[in-house]
Amino acid sequence: MIEKFYKRSVNHEHHNEDAMFTTSLSQNISLIAVMDGCSTGEESHFASALFSKLLKKIAKNLPDQTDIHGEELLKSYSLFSLGMHITRSFFVQLQNVQQHLDLSYSELASTLIVALINTRTKQIWYLMAGDGCIITDNKIEEFDQNNYPNFICYHLGDSYKDWVKDQVIIQETYFKESFGIATDGLLKCISKEEEITEILKEENWQDRLNLLEFSDDVSFFKFTKKEELISV
């Protein structure tokens, strides 16, 4: 089960500069992604929304794609290979959009976290470009770049191979009960008394978070593995 939390910060009057996207790629594989548009960028919500639309297009076309042997990608590719294929398509399509629309760096400044979840094996693959949070079994790992995220837009003149080699974090891991990704706003709660990690353990965590105020926008996906009851 995938749950989400999406909230505009107290500092942004008109737009939530974050965006989020999720879809089921197959019976056992789900894609989740969160993006955080740069506040100092031009129309900061545009870049994150664009990233979401590109991922939606890529995911929609995946069922029709095959490997060199004619097998469906969603059946033949490992989770790692599928993640690399999706993010390579994203990188190339973003390059094309920048060129066709003559967009500047400031118009494409957004962080990106993309994760694939095998809901059967509890295996995870994720790519992180910029800052954000990875939440495994309610334990938060923050990736902080001191307010200078290494946005993908800075590297659109490079090849995908060079970008993933030196500029992003790619990990494969497993979880026991839950896995999530979030923009860094999750840890920017104005009320210092609140312990986000403890709130995430509660069944009504979304309601609890919604009562709080944040100094930055928040986009958060959480997948929880519900054990199936076996009837006898």
Per-residue pLDDT tens digits for 168-191 = 999 999 999 999 999 999 998 887
Residue 90: inside a domain = yes
Edge to edge, what strands does the sheet with 29-36 contain? 18-24, 29-36, 112-118, 123-129, 169-174
CATH for 178: 3.60.40.10
| pTM exceeds cut of 0.85 | yes
> Residue 231's pLDDT is what?
45
Q: Is residue 21 part of a domain?
A: yes
Give me the pLDDT at residue 170, please. Answer: 96
Q: Is the pLDDT of residue 112 over 50?
A: yes
Which of helix, strand or coil describes residue 113? Answer: strand
Backbone angles phi, psi at 141, to 5 degrees: -110, 115
The helix or strand, by DSSP H or E, that contains position 189, with its residue range, turns out to be none
Q: 231 in a domain, yes or no?
A: no
Closest CA to 37 of 28, 29, 46: 46
- Highest-pLDDT range among 11-25, 50-64, 141-155, 202-216: 50-64
What are the backbone dihedrals phi and psi of residue 26, each rounded to the nearest 5 degrees, phi first? -160, -175
- Say whether pLDDT at 40 is over 80: no
Residue 61 domain flag:
yes
Domain assignment of residue 92, yes or no: yes
For the chain, how many structural domains are there in total? 1
84-91: average pLDDT = 97
Please measure the distance between the N-terminal and C-terminal CA atoms of the chain and give it in whole angstroms: 24
Q: What's the mean per-residue pLDDT of the chain?
A: 90
pLDDT of residue 232: 43
- Residue range 74-100: mean pLDDT, rounded: 96
pLDDT higher at 105 or 10 = 105
Contacts of 198 (CB under 8 A, 6+ apart): none
Residues 10-17 have a mean pLDDT of: 74
**Would you place residue 228 in the very low, low, confident or very high pLDDT band (cuts 50, 70, 90)?**
low
Show the domain range for 122. Answer: 2-224
Euclidean distance between CA atoms 63 and 60, whole angstroms: 7
| Lowest pLDDT segment from 25-29, 82-86, 161-165, 196-200 | 196-200
Does 206 reside within a domain?
yes
Is residue 140 within 8 Å of residue 187, measured between CB atoms? Answer: yes
- In a domain, residue 232? The reply is no
> For a pLDDT cut of 90, what percent of the chain falls above it?
67
Instruction: Answer for the pair 226, 1: CB distance below 8 angstroms, yes or no.
Output: yes
Secondary element (H or E) of residue 208? helix 205-210
Number of CB atoms found within 10 A of residue 177's CB = 14
pLDDT for residue 193: 58
